[in-house]
Chain A
Amino acid sequence: MIRFLIRRIALGVFVMWMVTVLVFGIFFLGGNANTVAYRLAGKDATPLTVMLIRKRLELNKPIYQQYGHFLWQLTWHHSLGYSYYHGESVGSILKQAVPITFSLTLGAAVIWLILGVLSGVLSAVRRGSIFDRAVTALALFFYSMPTFVLGLLLLFLVSFQLQKRGIRWFPGQGYTYISANPVKWFQSLILPWITLALVSAATYTRLTRGSLLEVLGEDYIRTARAKGLRERRVIYRHGLRSALTPVASQFGIDVGTLLGGAIITETVFGMPGLGYTAVQSIQNQDLPVIIGIVIIASAAVIVANILVDIFYAVLDPRVRLH
């Protein structure tokens, strides 16, 4: 177990290092150092101004020196540097964005997990029934629905139509911090939660249903039935337990990815979380902010994967960690 953890964490650190190298490479290969300097200098800037800006941001140094400086700052001063544009520290930008993405993702994850697993189990148990067919059709519908289409439709059909009639339960776009006003925080998150949850739940319904049906055909389920266990116990204790392993690994991947920024949902609902900030800074070529977000995003994916592997071993005694 300890060896497993050490190995996986080492691998994770390696991947994160690769990721920073990749981002640096993409940035400088694209010639963005010049783009940033010109954009900051404004329309009618003299070459001198551009040069001074490049010097101030240390963009004129060779790429390996800049990368070395970045690593030094990160490891010794625990600093991710400062935004090229407003001089704000990347740390404080991330501190504002992280709670938004976390409340969005974790809230939605709870909804989609319950919705997806429950509907998947019920439709597998009642295979072939009208309920099963309806769930399967609905799941396929939402599985095919692009996130931003659902988000826009909810904004139009729910938020806007209600507001036209004077009901202001759903504010539409924007975000309120929980510390500022918990009620408004909740209201601003309902539609984004539903959007993210419905689109994701569909995958879990399909996965749970398929996996449970497969497991229920196995010999040990027949054995459990043969020794006279109640059907309920057979399905929920014996069947579901091993049917949930693929669901767990999908859940880890999804939550990990979304914690790095639910890019589409945040953009549709104008929530300045990690994903929204990432898109903005990528469009501005604000390298320090991009790197900061990418590091958080990769870390989230890696941690989620490790947790999934541990959970696997807990759920299924046949799995050994090594």
Chain B
Amino acid sequence: MSLTGTPIQAPLEEQPAGVDAAAANPKIEGRSTWQLAWARLRRDRAAVISAVVILIIILVAIFAPVFATITGHGVNEQFRTTGLNPEGLPVAPGKTFLLGTDDQGRDLLVRLAYGSRVSLEVGVLATLLTVAVGAVLGLAAGYLGGIVDTIVARLVDLVLSLPYLLFAISLVSISHPGMRIVIIVIVVFGWAAVARIIRGQVLSIREKEFIEAARSLGASSWRIMFVEILPNVMAQLIVYATLLIPVSIVAEASLSFLGLGIPPPTADWGQMLAEAESIYQQAWWFIVFPGAALLITTLAFNILGDGVRDALDPRIDRL
């Protein structure tokens, strides 16, 4: 899974309220594209289940301190006597430590709960920023054309032809480690793919009559870009954003795994797996639980993303 090279199939164009849907429904009433999409999404069982899973993960993140209170184990508290065995190795899952401890005798369950905060925060923030930057630049390049288009298109080409993980690591290594630089790096290398898609869409939309109408009414470029065109590419943006969240989560975890993401002692899934790498032969729980947490999260977002794509684009019926 890569940050810029991920093939994400976005719907090509928004369809007006489908004829089939109206025929199937004897009581004829107008329903917007969004209502139809929502109805389709609710019928998609896999998508609903993954939405519930995501909700649970969000709740865990919000109520992470509750885990600490109930177990009585602070997130960074080291239990050198109870949390480590006489050889100084982590303790297996049991009554005191439900999911075992890590290499420093800290409660893995509590750290996993806190770790979900980092993943979700980075996943959502980085995605929103990436999509926002990509959308604005894509709109500007597509609608304004000329020099703006040339500059944006060249930048897109450059960013997409960089070995991004190498550059991401170099950028991270010269700044203060932390969540901010991780998010910046994800945005810097992620916006280009969004901008490219949106630019392509805008190029065809701007030739439509309603844009000409808006222009002849004296609407400004700003208004046309953000009030007339933006709603027409919203469906793609939403699909792209849903599928970008897991990519961002994995990007953050990968950087932390390489020791270049969220610095200790903040609990982070990628970092836990890096610590587990040297000790997994004695403590299986130390790789299995953080690995599972990461996998369940990305899987849930990907299934939901597929569902959202299918719901917003009835033409491709469940590819």
**Total contacting residues, chain A, CB less than 8 A:** 59
Interface of A is mostly: helix
- Check B246 against A148 for contact (C-beta < 8 Å): no
Contact of B1 among A199, A207, A253, A279 (CB under 8 A): A199
A152 touches B273 (CB 8 A): yes
Contacting pair B281 A153 (CB below 8 A): no
Q: Is A210 an interface residue (CB 8 A)?
A: yes
**Chain A residues, CB < 8 A from B34:** none
Interface contact A148-B161, CB-CB below 8 Å: no
Quick one: given A32-B174, A283-B173, are A203 and B7 in contact (CB under 8 Å)?
Answer: yes
Stretch in B14-22, B134-142, B202-210, B287-295 touching the partner: B287-295
Question: Is A29 engaged at the interface, CB distance under 8 Å to the other chain?
Answer: yes
Residues 4-15 of B, flagged 1 when their CB comes within 8 A of A and 0 if not, give 011101000000
* B226 part of interface (Cβ distance < 8 Å): no
Chain B's closest residue to A14 (CB) is: B158
A278 within 8 A of B: yes
The answer on a CB contact under 8 Å between B173 and A160 is no
Q: Are A23 and B170 in contact (CB under 8 A)?
A: yes
B-contact 0/1 string along A239-273, CB 8 Å cutoff = 00000001000100110010011011001100000
Which residues in A have their C-beta under 8 angstroms from that of B270?
A: 148
B residues less than 8 Å from A104 (CB atoms): none
> Which A residue's beta carbon lies closest to that of B7?
A207
* Contact surface of B with A, Cβ cutoff 8 Å: 1-2, 5-7, 9, 158, 161-167, 169-171, 173-175, 246, 250, 253-254, 257-260, 270, 273, 276-277, 280-281, 284, 287-288, 291, 294-295, 298-299, 301-303, 306, 316, 319
A residues with CB within 8 A of B: 15, 18-19, 22-23, 26-27, 29-32, 140-141, 143-149, 152-153, 155-156, 160, 199, 203, 206-207, 209-210, 213-214, 246, 250, 253-254, 257, 260-261, 263-264, 267-268, 275, 278-279, 282-283, 285, 290, 293-294, 297-298, 300-302, 305
A-B contact pairs, 16 of them (CB 8 A): A26-B174, A27-B174, A30-B174, A140-B306, A143-B302, A145-B295, A149-B273, A153-B287, A250-B5, A254-B5, A257-B5, A257-B165, A261-B163, A263-B169, A279-B258, A290-B170
- Contacts A144-B298, A145-B295, A294-B170 aside, 4 further interface pairs with beta carbons under 8 A come to A148-B257, A149-B291, A152-B277, A153-B291
